[in-house]
Amino acid sequence: MSSVPRNHSEKTAIPQQYAKCKLLEIVQYSCEPEKLPSGEIRPHCFPVPRIFRVCPNQPVVEITTYAMIDLKTGEIEMPHENSPLPIGKRWQDVRSYGNTG
């Protein structure tokens, strides 16, 4: 795995087809109700970082499950450049076979 700092300014060895790709991050939150000793209920939320690879002329691909994220330091370890990553699809190419009824 190669280590990528949170600001993504360091260069790492990457395959030529991904040389112009960028990594983007968003943080979403998962919240659950928490009952306080006073009886009040308030949300208790946890950060859920998501990492995306954005390449010119290609669909954006979420690669969160392929990255190791240290929530304390914010450091992201990316898979080795030879590791298979998901291939994105354009929305019009996505097919749903579930029950629509």
Domain of residue 62, residue span = 22-80
Whether 99 is covered by a domain: the verdict is: no
Question: pTM higher than 0.75 for the full model?
Answer: no
Whether 45 is covered by a domain: the verdict is: yes
Whether 64 is covered by a domain: the verdict is: yes
Each residue of 44-71: pLDDT tens digit? 999 888 888 888 888 888 888 888 878 7
Whether 61 is covered by a domain: the verdict is: yes
| Residue indicated by tokens 């991904």 | 18
Whether 100 is covered by a domain: the verdict is: no
Whether 98 is covered by a domain: the verdict is: no
Q: Residue 78 CB: number of other CB atoms within 10 A?
A: 20
Mean pLDDT of 40-44: 96
| Per-residue confidence (pLDDT) for residue 1, from 0 to 100 | 42
Tokens encoding 59: 């669909």
Identify the DSSP state of 101. -
Distance (Å, rounded) from C-alpha 80 to C-alpha 97?
34
Mean of per-residue pLDDT scores for the chain: 75
Identify the DSSP state of 38. T
Whether 40 is covered by a domain: the verdict is: yes
- Read off φ and ψ for residue 44, nearest 5 degrees: -120, 115
How many structural domains does the chain have?
1
